Amino acid sequence: MNIHIRNEELRDFQRVEEIAREAFWNLYFPGGHEHYVIHKMRNHRDFIKELTFVIEVDGEIAGGIFYTHSKIISNDNKEYKTITFGPVFISPEFHRKGLGRAMIMHSIEKAKKMGYRAILTLGYPYHYEPYGFAGGRKYKISMPDGKYYKGLLVLPLYQGALDHISGYVIFSDALDVTQGEVDDFDQQFPQKEKRHQASQEEYNAASAMLDDE
């Protein structure tokens, strides 16, 4: 299996959206919107093109990772620039082959070289703790409601990057889409059935879980 990671190019756009749609469909809720988030994100002011990668297997795209600018608003109302990845995905046919890990590690190393302060993302802790991410509580970083959720994960990119900083994260509104926008965009893809499944209940429970330690 020949694996290659490179920056996304214009010629990749449609295929990347198709793969993202397949990867996320019915995973977190009936249907999916990540393929439209990607489509919208590419033209947003917060999009970081240099940190957007696709991973190829034998010359065929198998997944992708997208980054946007985010920020921490400190308790004294100062802004500290951070970055956020997501969506990140691998085609279902290539799951459990280490491709996601390779792509995430590649992007983290690139972000370090570019001098970014920290990566903040939302997800399952067990997915991202192996990369060095820890819950926001450890760094005194909360969601905008002031609460520490287990799903808010933080990775400083250099020693002392988050020392003496406490506050809340603001993610890019590039991630915000309406169901109407998604439905309109989705008409250009083959029809897929929206249905409920167990992973959606797991996601809802995890999203609400507070870090009270």
CATH number for the domain including 93?
A: 3.40.630.30
- Helical H segments across 114-191, by residue range: 125-128, 179-186
Structural domains of the chain, count: 1
Q: Would you say residue 159 lies in a domain?
A: yes
pLDDT band of 1, cuts 50, 70, 90: confident
Question: Is residue 168 situated within a structural domain?
Answer: yes
**Tens digit of pLDDT for each residue in 116-156?**
999 999 999 999 999 999 999 999 999 999 999 999 999 99
Widest Cα–Cα separation across the chain: 51
Question: Parallel, antiparallel, or unpaired: how do β-strands 141-142 and 167-170 relate?
Answer: parallel
C-alpha 86/C-alpha 103 separation (Å) is 12
pLDDT at 190 over 90: yes
Query: Would 184 be classed as within a structural domain?
Result: no
- Alpha-carbon distances of 31 from 112, 129, 148, 186, 200, rounded to whole Å: 35, 28, 28, 10, 11
Residue 136 in any domain: the answer is: yes
The count of C-alpha atoms lying within 13 angstroms of the C-alpha of 18, restricted to the half-sphere facing its C-beta, is 10
Vertex 192: Cα angle to 187 and 198 (nearest 5): 130
Mean pLDDT of the chain: 96
* Distance between CA atoms of residues 67 and 51, nearest Å: 6
Q: Is residue 213 in a domain?
A: no
> Is residue 182 situated within a structural domain?
no
Residue 212 has pLDDT above 90, yes or no: no
What is the rounded (10 degree) CA torsion for 140, 143, 149, 150?
Answer: -70
Range of the structural domain that residue 56 is part of: 3-177+194-207
154: three-class secondary structure by DSSP = strand
143 domain residue, yes or no: yes
